Amino acid sequence: MQLGLSFSDSDVSSFTPLVVLELADDTKAEAITWLLNRIRDKQQNGGAELLVNQLLFPAQDDQKSNPNVFVVGSTLQRLLNGAEDVGLFKEFQDGTMRGFTYANRESFKDFNGDGEGFLSDAECQYIIKHGLDTLRAKNEQHVPGYPKLKLYPGKSVVRRLQSKGVLIQYFPLHNKEDLKRLSFSWYKKFKLSFQPLDDIRHYFGEGLALYFGFLEYFTFALVPMALIGIPYYLFDWEDYDKYVLFAVFNLVWSTVFLEVWKRCSATLAYGWGTLSRKKAFEEPRAGFHGALGFNPVTGREEPVYPSSKRQLRIYLVSVPFVLLCLYLSFYVMMVYFDMEFWAINTYHENPNIATSILLFVPSIIYAVVIEIMNLLYRCAAEFLTDWENHRLESSFQNHLVLKVLVFNFVNCFASLFYIAFVMQNMVLLRQSLATLLITSQILNQVMEAFLPYWLQRRRNKKVHKRMRRLMGDKELPLLGQVQLETEMNTYLGTFDDYLEQFLLFGYVSLFSCVYPLAAVLVVLNNITEVYSDAFKMCHVFKRPFSEPAANIGVWQLAFETMSIIAVVTNCALIGLSPQVKAYFPESDTQLILIVVAIEHVLLAFKFILAFVIPDVPKHIQVKLAKLDFDSLEALKKRKILEATET
Amino acid sequence: MQLGLSFSDSDVSSFTPLVVLELADDTKAEAITWLLNRIRDKQQNGGAELLVNQLLFPAQDDQKSNPNVFVVGSTLQRLLNGAEDVGLFKEFQDGTMRGFTYANRESFKDFNGDGEGFLSDAECQYIIKHGLDTLRAKNEQHVPGYPKLKLYPGKSVVRRLQSKGVLIQYFPLHNKEDLKRLSFSWYKKFKLSFQPLDDIRHYFGEGLALYFGFLEYFTFALVPMALIGIPYYLFDWEDYDKYVLFAVFNLVWSTVFLEVWKRCSATLAYGWGTLSRKKAFEEPRAGFHGALGFNPVTGREEPVYPSSKRQLRIYLVSVPFVLLCLYLSFYVMMVYFDMEFWAINTYHENPNIATSILLFVPSIIYAVVIEIMNLLYRCAAEFLTDWENHRLESSFQNHLVLKVLVFNFVNCFASLFYIAFVMQNMVLLRQSLATLLITSQILNQVMEAFLPYWLQRRRNKKVHKRMRRLMGDKELPLLGQVQLETEMNTYLGTFDDYLEQFLLFGYVSLFSCVYPLAAVLVVLNNITEVYSDAFKMCHVFKRPFSEPAANIGVWQLAFETMSIIAVVTNCALIGLSPQVKAYFPESDTQLILIVVAIEHVLLAFKFILAFVIPDVPKHIQVKLAKLDFDSLEALKKRKILEATET
Q: B367-409, pLDDT tens digit by residue? A: 999 999 999 999 999 999 999 999 888 899 899 999 999 999 9
The minimal CB distance from A622 to the residues B297, B589, B593 is found for B297
Contacts of B636 in chain A (CB under 8 A): 85
| pLDDT for the residue numbered A64 | 64
Convert the pLDDT of each residue in A491-537 to its tens digit: 888 888 999 999 999 998 888 777 888 889 999 999 888 888 888 88
Question: In whole angstroms, what is the distance from residue B569 CA to residue B564 CA?
Answer: 9
- Which ipTM did the prediction report? 0.84
pTM of the model: 0.87
B277 phi/psi in degrees, rounded to 5: -65, 135
In degrees, rounded to 5, the angle at the alpha carbon of residue A216 between the alpha carbons of residues A402 and A124 is: 80
Query: In A148-170, which positions are buried (b, 16+ CB within 10 angstroms) versus exposed (e)?
Result: ebbbbeebbbbbbbbbeebbbeb
Convert the pLDDT of each residue in B103-150 to its tens digit: 888 889 888 888 888 998 889 999 999 999 888 888 888 888 888 888
- Backbone CA torsion sign across A374, A379, A380, A382: positive
Question: In whole angstroms, what is the distance from residue B280 CA to residue B85 CA?
Answer: 10
B150, B163 Cβ separation under 8 angstroms: no
Confidence of residue A465 (pLDDT cuts 50, 70, 90): confident
Q: Is B235 on the interface with A (CB under 8 A)?
A: no
Confidence of residue B413 (pLDDT cuts 50, 70, 90): very high
H helices of B2-104, in order, are: 2-12, 29-40, 76-85
- Within 8 A by CB and 6+ apart from A236, the residues are none
Q: Is A95 on the interface with B (CB under 8 A)?
A: no
Confidence of residue A646 (pLDDT cuts 50, 70, 90): low
Contacts of B568 in chain A (CB under 8 A): 600
Q: Which residue has the higher pLDDT, A443 or B11?
A: A443
Contacts of A596 in chain B (CB under 8 A): 592, 596
Confidence of residue A8 (pLDDT cuts 50, 70, 90): very low
Q: Spell out the SS3 assignment of A289-325.
A: CCEEEECCCCCCEEEECCHHHHHHHHHHHHHHHHHHH
Q: Is A629 on the interface with B (CB under 8 A)?
A: yes
The minimal CB distance from B644 to the residues A44, A589, A632 is found for A44
A281, B628 Cβ separation under 8 angstroms: yes
Q: Best interface-test mutation with B: which of A77, A100, A586, A592 has the largest number of B CBs within 10 A? A: A592
Cβ neighbour number for residue B339 with a 10 Å cutoff: 15
Q: Which residue has the higher pLDDT, B355 or B472?
A: B355
pLDDT at A319 > cutoff 90: yes
Q: Is B298 on the interface with A (CB under 8 A)?
A: yes
Rg (CA), chain B: 28
Q: Is A593 on the interface with B (CB under 8 A)?
A: yes
Question: A517 to chain B nearest CA, in Å?
Answer: 29
Q: Which residue has the higher pLDDT, A301 or B12?
A: A301
Question: In whole angstroms, what is the distance from residue B302 CA to residue B64 CA?
Answer: 39
* Cα–Cα distances in angstroms (integers) from residue A520 to residues A221, A233, A427, in the given order: 12, 11, 19
The minimal CB distance from B297 to the residues A43, A587, A629 is found for A629
| pLDDT for the residue numbered A192 | 57
Rg (CA), chain A: 28
- Backbone CA torsion sign across A215, A217, A222, A223: positive
In chain A, what percentage of residues exceed pLDDT 70?
92
pLDDT at A261 > cutoff 80: yes
Question: In whole angstroms, what is the distance from residue B9 CA to residue B11 CA?
Answer: 5
- Averaged pLDDT, A101-121: 86
Confidence of residue B431 (pLDDT cuts 50, 70, 90): confident
Question: In whole angstroms, what is the distance from residue B536 CA to residue B533 CA?
Answer: 5
List A303's β-bridge partners, or say none.
Answer: A292
The minimal CB distance from B625 to the residues A297, A596, A628 is found for A297
Q: Do A593 and B592 touch (CB under 8 A)?
A: yes
Q: Do A297 and B589 touch (CB under 8 A)?
A: no
pLDDT at B476 > cutoff 70: no
Cβ pairs A/B, distance under 8 A: 55
Q: Best interface-test mutation with A: which of B594, B639, B645 has the largest number of A CBs within 10 A? A: B639
Termini Cα distance of chain A: 69
Question: In whole angstroms, what is the distance from residue A160 CA to residue A149 CA?
Answer: 8
Question: A242 to chain B nearest CA, in Å?
Answer: 25
Interface of B with A in 466-525 (CB under 8 A): none
Q: Which residue has the higher pLDDT, A123 or A457?
A: A123
Q: Do A600 and B568 touch (CB under 8 A)?
A: yes
Residue B389 gets the label, from left (phi > 0), alpha (psi -120 to 50) or beta, of left
Q: Please report which helix (H) or strand (E) contains residue A242, including its range.
A: helix A240-271
Question: A556 to chain B nearest CA, in Å?
Answer: 15
| pLDDT for the residue numbered B12 | 45
- Averaged pLDDT, B521-531: 89
Question: In whole angstroms, what is the distance from residue A319 CA to residue B167 CA?
Answer: 66
DSSP state of A172: E
Q: Is B641 on the interface with A (CB under 8 A)?
A: no
Contacts of B589 in chain A (CB under 8 A): 588-589, 592
A576, A599 Cβ separation under 8 angstroms: no
Confidence of residue B581 (pLDDT cuts 50, 70, 90): confident
Query: In B531-562, which positions are buried (b, 16+ CB within 10 angstroms) versus exposed (e)?
Result: ebbbbbbbbbbbbbbbbbbbbbbbbbebbbeb
Q: Is B582 on the interface with A (CB under 8 A)?
A: no
A207, A265 Cβ separation under 8 angstroms: no
Q: Is B568 on the interface with A (CB under 8 A)?
A: yes
Q: Is A585 on the interface with B (CB under 8 A)?
A: no
Instruction: Name the least confident of A568-572, A633-637, B624-628.
Output: A633-637
Which residue, among B120, B59, B32, B175, has the nearest Cα to B485 in the 3D structure? Answer: B175
Question: A558 to chain B nearest CA, in Å?
Answer: 13
The minimal CB distance from A296 to the residues B592, B600, B622 is found for B622
pLDDT at B4 > cutoff 50: no
Contacts of B622 in chain A (CB under 8 A): 296-297
pLDDT at B85 > cutoff 90: no
B281 → chain A, closest CA residue: A629
Convert the pLDDT of each residue in A190-232 to its tens digit: 655 678 888 899 899 999 999 999 999 999 999 988 888 888 7
Question: A508 to chain B nearest CA, in Å?
Answer: 22
Question: In whole angstroms, what is the distance from residue B547 CA to residue B539 CA?
Answer: 19
Cβ neighbour number for residue B216 with a 10 Å cutoff: 17
The torsion angle over the Cα atoms of residues A353, A354, A357 and A362, rounded to 10 degrees, is -150
Q: Count H helices, E strands: chain B? A: 23, 10
A539, A460 Cβ separation under 8 angstroms: no
Q: Is A592 on the interface with B (CB under 8 A)?
A: yes
Contacts of A600 in chain B (CB under 8 A): 568
Instruction: Name the least confident of A150-159, A389-398, A613-622.
Output: A150-159
Q: Which residue has the higher pLDDT, A479 or A223?
A: A223
Q: Is B588 on the interface with A (CB under 8 A)?
A: yes
Convert the pLDDT of each residue in B248-275 to its tens digit: 777 788 888 899 999 999 999 998 988 8
Contacts of A589 in chain B (CB under 8 A): 588-589, 592
Mean pLDDT of chain A: 85
Confidence of residue B338 (pLDDT cuts 50, 70, 90): very high
DSSP state of B292: E
Contacts of B299 in chain A (CB under 8 A): 626
Which residue, among A622, A612, A519, A503, has the nearest Cα to A558 in the 3D structure? Answer: A503
| pLDDT for the residue numbered A60 | 56
Helix axes of B319-349 and B393-417: crossing angle, nearest 10 degrees: 30
Q: Is A379 on the interface with B (CB under 8 A)?
A: no
Q: Is B66 on the interface with A (CB under 8 A)?
A: no
List B19's β-bridge partners, or say none.
Answer: B72, B172
Q: Which residue has the higher pLDDT, B363 or B639?
A: B363
Q: Do B44 and A644 touch (CB under 8 A)?
A: yes
pLDDT at A238 > cutoff 80: no
Q: Is A190 on the interface with B (CB under 8 A)?
A: no
| pLDDT for the residue numbered B461 | 82
Of these ranges, A292-301, A327-336, A614-623, B514-523, the one predicted with the greatest mean pLDDT is: A327-336
Question: In whole angstroms, what is the distance from residue B44 CA to residue A637 CA?
Answer: 10
Q: Do B568 and A296 touch (CB under 8 A)?
A: no
B27, B166 Cβ separation under 8 angstroms: yes
Q: Is B345 on the interface with A (CB under 8 A)?
A: no
* Cα–Cα distances in angstroms (integers) from residue A339 to residues A326, A434, A437, A443, in the given order: 20, 17, 19, 21
| pLDDT for the residue numbered B316 | 94
Mean pLDDT of chain B: 85
B572 → chain A, closest CA residue: A593
Contacts of A568 in chain B (CB under 8 A): 600
A422, A337 Cβ separation under 8 angstroms: no
Convert the pLDDT of each residue in A66-100 to its tens digit: 788 899 999 999 999 889 888 888 888 888 888 88
Cβ neighbour number for residue A248 with a 10 Å cutoff: 17
- Averaged pLDDT, B352-364: 87
Question: In whole angstroms, what is the distance from residue B166 CA to residue A127 CA?
Answer: 59
pLDDT at B7 > cutoff 70: no
pLDDT at A615 > cutoff 70: yes
Q: Do B626 and A593 touch (CB under 8 A)?
A: no
Residue B72 gets the label, from left (phi > 0), alpha (psi -120 to 50) or beta, of beta
pLDDT at A240 > cutoff 60: no
In chain B, what percentage of residues exceed pLDDT 90?
28
The single-letter code of the amino acid at B613 is I
The torsion angle over the Cα atoms of residues B293, B295, B298 and B299, rounded to 10 degrees, is 40
Instruction: Name the least confident of A192-206, A629-643, B351-365.
Output: A629-643
A85 → chain B, closest CA residue: B636
The torsion angle over the Cα atoms of residues B600, B603, B604 and B608, rounded to 10 degrees, is 170
The minimal CB distance from B43 to the residues A297, A600, A640 is found for A640
| pLDDT for the residue numbered B192 | 57
| pLDDT for the residue numbered A288 | 83
Q: Which residue has the higher pLDDT, A12 or B1?
A: A12
A140, A152 Cβ separation under 8 angstroms: no
